[in-house]
Each structure stands twice: as structure tokens, then as C-alpha cells.
Structure 1
Amino acid sequence: MNAPHHSKVAGIDSTVPTPAHTVAPAPPVPGTAAVPAPNSPAPGALLQDRLAGWVSDLTTLHELTERLARTDSLDGALQELLRAGAALVGARRGLVVLEPADGLGPDTTIGLGLGRADLGHIETVPRGAMSYGELLDTAAGLPGADGEIVHPDLFAEDGLDPRHREVAARLGYAASYALPLSTEAAGRLGAAVWLYDEPAEPHERRRHLAGLYVRYATEHLARLLEVARTRACLATIAEELLPSRLPRVAGVQLAARHRTGPRGGGDWYDALPLPDAALGLAVGSVTGSGPSAVAAMGRLRASLRAYAVMEGEDPVAVLSDLELLLRLTEPARSATALFAYCEPALRKVTLAGAGHSPPLLIGERRTEFAETSVSAPLGMLACWEAPSVEFQAEAGETVLLYTDGLLHRTGDPTDRAFARLHAAATSVPRALRRDPGAIADHVLRTVLPDGLDAADSEEDVVLLAARFD
């Protein structure tokens, strides 16, 4: 492996067709008539060949950038960048290291044709000995710098790091070509490296095409990075506005599950101890999405906690106060809410709902929706009012509160969504019925199968389960 190899031009991928390469004709000698060389193409044919090559290159770049533009996630865009770059430079494998210079993350490494173990081997090489380390840690990776790093024959190079030599031999690559992911506008985002199985390097035309593509890809990645950071920030704020932990109250076990949409929504839940060993349970949803809905949700939940402490034994009064506050502070917004006053020692539940779906009782001998009165959402009428309802839970039964997002994510009509929820609750295995968290997980996975519970959706989902001893 230490014997020097003659570098060769990397093979051209069929994705990028090769135009005919020709040599410009010599200028004619003054005073003499130009005599075409035997069997040489006419000047018009040379120009036509070059124009055909340029059109081919532009068409290829257009197709590749169109594919990249259709990606809507960072991981998807990075994978597409690696695939397209490999086709442009004639490589088979590669990796991209995302490491924004502002230090705000996310930091990640994604491989093409490299498994997790392969990436782990590469990460054992000293960072400065790898092309991506050179780009990320030196001026070559700064915006505006040319920055390409070519290693046409790693094993023929003097001073190759021993660990790098060992890893390259283990993984079977002998050359590399690297470009920074950086622009003046986006700053430094990371670096991409493509690996060759044999000593090779991309042709100058290939480098030019790859450079154009990577500059466009970096701008696209910068936009997706900003979106990902905004979504993560909204999700963090929403989670911080919800209970960090559920209270421990004698006679009842609690569990909650929350799924936030990519834009951040207004679904919320709460559980708080009340005087006389009582427990208040609440779920609700504010209309809209994004930062304003998250902020409104936080204000509404905080206000409900205060009203519940003052008059929690009367759920109708709690929601009436909440409706008045919403009408005065958020006149253009409406909300649904359900508040339940629970007495665990008696297993007695008194609740009132404002445009909210009824709770579900799950037990050994029955699985049914609790009877609730029909009422409008908060903020829809000049004065909200609805009667409360009361029911008795049996020992071992679980009361499941949820938001409408659970039903809406199914994509079914309302009646079918309710039937699906009821069937999911009925099918809870006997071994799981003593754990409210397991019950909530089973219902979530059954109502929203195939990863729909975790998929991006405009609808938030909240489940709050209370099992009575």
C-alpha cells in the first residue's frame, strides 16, 4: 500500500454526460490563406460541441438543484448533497460534517456508503489529519475561501497520519476530495468529503460543477438550519410551559404524553394538587400555531391554575373565569378546555368542558366515554356557561383526557376517529392496565400507527391519564 501510484482522473458518472473535448485551431499566418488540417472538424462544429457541453452541464445542475430544493429536512438535504456530489465528482462514498461556526448546532455527521461503524472509525483519526478537520479548523473553511482539498493518492503522500493510513486501509479508500459548506451569507456550516476506492481526483470541469452545486446547497442548508432551530426553540418553549413533572397524590397515578407540531401549537395539559387532598386535571387547546399560540397557551394555563386553586371544586366557575380572561386579553382567539375536580379518596370526578372532547373511562368491566354537556369553546359566545357533570370511577379504572389533535391526526371523519379511539382503549392488554403511562402509550400507538404519532403534523397531541387505586 506504500508504493506510489500514478494519479488518474476520476471516472465520470453517467448522471453528468461528457461533452467532446477539442483543441482550438491555431490562428492563421498573416498574408496566407487558412488551410484546414486533414480530417479536422470545421470551426462551427467545434463551437457546437462546446455549446452542447455547456448545455449539458447546465441541465445537470438544474436537475440536481431541483432535487435538492424538494428536500424539507436537514437530514434529507445532507443525504441529497452527498449523492449529487458523488455523481458530480465521480466518487462512490462520502461523508458530510455539519458543524455551524456560530456554535448553536445542530452538529451531526452523515455518511454515504458508510455505516455507523465506519463513521466511528473515521472519527478516531485525529481531526487535523482529515480533510473536513482542515476545512473546519483553518482559514480554508472560512466564507469566501476557495477551500477545496484534494488528496489524489493518500498512501503516496509523505507525512500521512498513521491512524489515517490504518483507517483508510480498513475502509478501502485511497483518495479524497473535500469542499467547505460555507458562503458569505450563510457563514461556515460544515464540510463535505467524497472518497475514492482507488487513487483518483476529479477533472477540473467536475470541480467547477461541484463547486457551483455546493454553493447552492449551502444556501439551501442554511435555510433549513434556520427552520430546524426555530422548530426546536418553539418545542422547547412549549415543553417548558407545560408541567416538568406530574404531582404525586394519594389514591391516583398520573401519566402524560405530548406531541408538538413542527410550528409549535397551543395544546396543553395540567395536574395540580388542590386543598382537601383533591386533584385538578385540565387539558385544552388554543387556536392557531406558532409563537403567538404558544404564548397564549402559557398565559391560559397559568390563569387556570390560579382559578383552580380559588374555586376548583366548581369547574364551571373555573372555566367561566377563564373565558372572561380570554375574551378580554385575546379577543381574536378561541380555545377549548376541560377541567376536572377529582376526589381520589372517593374516586369522584366533577368536570366541565368548553367545546372539548369527552374523557374516556378505561376499566376491566367498561370502556366508555363520560357523558358531558354540549358547550361552545371559550371566546365564541358573549358569555360562556354550561352545566358540570359528575361520575364515579371504580377501583383500577383510568380516566383518559386528550385533545382533539389525537382525533384530527387520524385523518378520519369525527365519528370514525372516536370509534378508533374507543377500540384502542378497549384493546389495552390486561398486563398494562395497572400503568397509566403504558395505557397512554398503547392508545397513542394504536390510534396513530406507523409513526403518525411522531410524524410532523400541524396538530398537537396531548393525553393525560389518571388511574384510581
Structure 2
Amino acid sequence: MNAPHPQKVAGIDAAVPAPAHTAAPAPVTAGTAPVPPPHAPGALLQDRLAGWVSDLTTLHELTERLARTTSLDEALQELLRAGAALVGARRGLVVLEPADRQGPDTTIGLGLGRADLGHIETVPRSATSFGRILDGLPGGDHEITEPDLFAGDGPDPRHREVAARLGYAASYALPLSAETGGRLGAAVWLYDEPAEPVERQRHLIGLYARCAAEHLARLLEVERTRACMATIAEELLPSRLPRVAGVQLAARHRTGPRGGGDWYDALPLPDAALGLAVGAVTGSGPSAVAAMGRLRASLRAYAVMEGEDPVAVLSDLELLLRLTEPARSATALFAYCEPALRKITLAGAGHCPPLLVGQRRTEFVETSVSAPLGMLACWEAPSVELQAEPGETVLLYTDGLLHRTGDPVDRAFARLHAAAAGVPRSLRRDPDALVDHVLRTVLPDGLDSADSEEDVVLLAARFE
């Protein structure tokens, strides 16, 4: 009768070689169990199974850590760290250069600084393992092992010079290719001494690299979509702020990965006046960005025709929104400014009140409570007049600034007020410095640039 074959695990060949000879049975003492010889097939099988379980556990942990990464840079760093652990290296680099030439192209190092990566880039591309992979040169379609860069004639002289300078003597490179996205780039790990990964290490890193490439392909599409949406949103906003006598302007805009509907505008008006507007369209993604562009363009037209009456401007905008975007609502605030008189007339539709920042006062402007545009059959609310003092700044913003804090609304308003009141006197003369300080204070620790569904807009006007 044939003995059953051991089961294969995760594609690893589970065949066990037959022993070369049969060992004599060990003597059995009464009352004790027989001890199998150290090279018995059962012991070999147990050792091999234990190795497979250990390898699979390691791969599972590493792929789980990789799957938790949400940005391309974070995933590339995790790829380098995990690969270094699998092949027994300390340093490495990954070159992201998608074959479709649509970017983004980047190089990230592990244990290598910017200067080190710069030195490696001085090596002729065809002399580097990642260059041969990325350019499709002979041998670049699979792993490239260079166990001793200084043995014999070695590689390109410049490569040897750079290797000696950076202190590495061997390298192991793998292409990063996904089934859907094709070639994405190449990863290279560097050894301090002549070395190369053994067959087991190559098998593990090969499995991990295939999984990593698919994850990178997904993140790459997300990154491209995000960059595309950010570009479209920025193109729909002012390319530069106008120069108007008697007032200095500054603006900041942060958008989420899907693109949102928050916007701002500043436009010169007849009689040396200035129109300021901020608003937010409900929703996110391409449709919200498109709706934002239409509303902003319409508001500019209404502001030119009847900007001295902010209520009329927002009433016209509400009618347009109700007729053309019946399933969407929006908040908006429009201010008609006369810089020579430092006089501001404003009206808001469901929008946050502006903040007045000066040397002697920091306070919210009291505006009438009103519904957002598109929420009522007919919108109208009284306007508010404000007289600014010389050197005071009016700060307009969207509610995304408050929502990104994660605090309740009242605490978020208090945080914004404290941030504006705490602007150093030396910065209050510069609206750019003022909005940067407020943004960093209200959203510390990178919250202003972190991925979020909430857009952020700040528009500051300092009156001289």
C-alpha cells in the first residue's frame, strides 16, 4: 500500500526525500515510549511544517501591516522595511516609475539620506539593477542579484565608487509589477558585506512583492485621482488674488482626496470696491467640484451687476441653485467692501460668521441667522454693516475648518477665536502670516494637510 503524500501548503513543495538507509531500531525499555531516531521522516516533516507555519505567519503579519497603509509614501516605506527583514539587509531603496509614464515618479530610501540617493543617481542608469529593470534591459524582467560588487572586474567603475563611498558591497533587486497596472517600479536592498538571499528568502520576498505590487497599484490610482481632483478644484478657484488699493488679501485652501465643494473668491468691483465671497456646496467628488465652479462663476456675475447689495447677490444665487441644482444646497457669504472707507456690507446664507482681528479686539461679526441656499422656497436675510479700524483684518472661512478639529461646534469656535486672538503683533501686519498662524493653531500636528472629507478655506482681508 502506498503511503499518503503530505499536503502542500501555500504552493510550497511539501515532498520529503526518502531516507538514504534504514536505521536500526532503538532499544525499548519497559515502561518507556520508543524515541524516534533524529532523522526519522516524521521529525523531518514536523520540522518542515513548523518552518512553513513560521513563514506563513511572517508573511501574514507583514502583508497585514502593508494593507493598513493608506498613502503611497507610507506603503513604499513599509515595503522597504518588510523586504529588508525578509532578505536580511539593512538598507535599500524603491524607485517608483510606472510604465504608463503618468507618474508619480519618486525614489524613497531606507537607511539612505537624500544625499545618498543623489550619489546613487550619479551612477549610469544601465549600470544599476533598478535601471535595468525599469528600462526593460536584458535580465531586467526578474530578480537581479549582485552578491559582490567588488569581485573581479565588478560593475561600472562609477557604481563601485559610489558603493564604496556609501558602504555597501552587494545588492538584491526585484521588479514591482501588478497584473492590472503593469510595471510600477523596482525595489533594491543593499548589504554591507558580500551576501545574497538564500532560496527560502527569495521565495518569501517574491510572494510578498507580488502582494505589495497589487496594493501599490491601488494606492497609485487613488493618488492620481486625488491629484486630478485637486488640480481641477484649484483651477476653478482664483489663480491669484487681485491687488486693490487700501486692502491686503491672503487665502488658503485645503481639499480632501475626493475633492470638495468649498470655495472662495475676491474680485475688484466698480467704484474701487472689492467683493469677497466664501461658500460650500454639499457633497464631494467631481459633481460637487463642478457645482462649486458653476456657483462661483454665477456669483461673480451677480456681484458685478449688484454687488453693493449682498442680499440681492445671494438671492439671485439661491434662485439659480434651486432651478439648476434642485437636489443640492450650499452655504455662502458675500461681502461688499469699500477699502477707502473701511466699510463692509455683508450677508450670509447658513454660513459661519466672519472674525474681526485687530490690535484691540478679536470678535465674531454678528450676522443674522438664515438657512443655506436651496433649503427654502425663497431665501432672504438682512445684511450687516461693519466698520473696520486701520490695521484690522476680516477673516472669512468655511465650516470645514471647524469640523476638522473633531471638537463640538462651540469648542471649535472657541479654538478659532483663541487662535486669532493669539496671533503675535509682529504677524498682524501680514495677512499671509496671520492665516498661516491661525491654520496651524486650529489644526495642529498636520491636521491641516491630512486626508479628510472636509475642505478648508480661509480668506483674509487686512484694511490699511
State if a TM-score over 0.5 links the two structures. yes
Give the whole-Å Cα distance in 2 for the aligned partners of 1:303 and 1:78: 44
Q: Which residue does 1:10 correspond to in 2? A: none
Question: SS state of the match for residue 364, structure 1?
Answer: coil
Q: Which of 442, 449, 454 is matched with 2:437 structurally?
A: 442
Question: SS state of the match for residue 212, structure 1?
Answer: helix
Contact 2:16–2:41 under 8 Å retained in 1: no
Q: Give the unaligned 5+ runs of structure 1.
A: 1-18, 28-33
2:18 matched to 1:25? yes
Give the whole-Å Cα distance in 1 for the aligned partners of 2:412 and 2:132: 55
- After superposition, the Cα gap between the structure-2 partners of 1:196 and 1:22, relative to the gap in structure 1 and judged at 3 Å, is farther
- After superposition, the Cα gap between the structure-2 partners of 1:141 and 1:386, relative to the gap in structure 1 and judged at 3 Å, is farther
2:147 matched to 1:149? no
2:56 matched to 1:58? yes
Q: Which of 317, 324, 331 is matched with 1:336 structurally?
A: 331
Q: Which residue does 2:66 correspond to in 1? A: 68
Give the whole-Å Cα distance in 2 for the aligned partners of 1:414 and 1:184: 47
Contact 1:141–1:188 under 8 Å retained in 2: no
Contact 1:320–1:384 under 8 Å retained in 2: yes
Give the whole-Å Cα distance in 2 for the aligned partners of 1:461 and 1:232: 17
Give the whole-Å Cα distance in 2 for the aligned partners of 1:333 and 1:139: 54
Give the whole-Å Cα distance in 2 for the aligned partners of 1:259 and 1:312: 27
Deviations 1:68-126 (A, max 9, x none): 11111111111111111111111111111111111111111111111222111111111
Q: Which residue does 2:23 correspond to in 1? A: 36
Amino acid in the other structure paired with 1:409: R
Instruction: Using the TM superposition, give the Cα deviation of residue 140 of structure 1 relative to its aligned residue in structure 2, in angstroms.
Output: 5.7
Once structures 1 and 2 are overlaid, which stretch shifts more, 265-274 or 436-445? 436-445
Q: Which residue does 1:277 correspond to in 2? A: 272
Q: Percent identity?
A: 86
Deviations 1:260-287 (A, max 9, x none): 1222111100011111111111000111
Q: Which residue does 1:12 correspond to in 2? A: none
Give the whole-Å Cα distance in 2 for the aligned partners of 1:463 and 1:212: 48
2:188 matched to 1:193? yes
Contact 2:154–2:160 under 8 Å retained in 1: no
Q: Which residue does 1:219 correspond to in 2? A: 214
Q: Which residue does 2:116 correspond to in 1? A: 118
2:357 matched to 1:357? no
Instruction: Using the TM superposition, give the Cα deviation of residue 44 of structure 1 relative to its aligned residue in structure 2, in angstroms.
Output: 2.6
Runs of 4+ in 1 over 4 A off after TM superposition: 37-40, 139-142
2:171 matched to 1:176? yes
- After superposition, the Cα gap between the structure-2 partners of 1:70 and 1:157, relative to the gap in structure 1 and judged at 3 Å, is farther
Q: Which of 236, 240, 243 is matched with 1:245 structurally?
A: 240
Question: SS state of the match for residue 150, structure 2?
Answer: helix
Instruction: Using the TM superposition, give the Cα deviation of residue 141 of structure 1 relative to its aligned residue in structure 2, in angstroms.
Output: 7.8
- TM-score normalised to the size of structure 1? 0.90
- TM-score normalised to the size of structure 2? 0.91
Give the whole-Å Cα distance in 2 for the aligned partners of 1:162 and 1:261: 47
Instruction: Using the TM superposition, give the Cα deviation of residue 139 of structure 1 relative to its aligned residue in structure 2, in angstroms.
Output: 4.7
Give the whole-Å Cα distance in 1 for the aligned partners of 2:86 and 2:315: 65
2:101 matched to 1:103? yes
Instruction: Using the TM superposition, give the Cα deviation of residue 427 of structure 1 relative to its aligned residue in structure 2, in angstroms.
Output: 1.6
Give the whole-Å Cα distance in 2 for the aligned partners of 1:178 and 1:127: 14
Give the whole-Å Cα distance in 1 for the aligned partners of 2:38 and 2:365: 90
Q: Which of 260, 282, 287 is matched with 1:265 structurally?
A: 260
Q: Which residue does 1:128 correspond to in 2? A: 126
RMSD, matched Cα = 1.9
Give the whole-Å Cα distance in 1 for the aligned partners of 2:212 and 2:139: 16
2:390 matched to 1:387? no
Residue correspondences, number: 441
Deviations 1:166-200 (A, max 9, x none): 11111111111100011332211100011111111
Q: Give the unaligned 5+ runs of structure 2.
A: 1-11, 26-36
Q: Which of 44, 47, 50 is matched with 1:46 structurally?
A: 44
- After superposition, the Cα gap between the structure-2 partners of 1:157 and 1:134, relative to the gap in structure 1 and judged at 3 Å, is farther
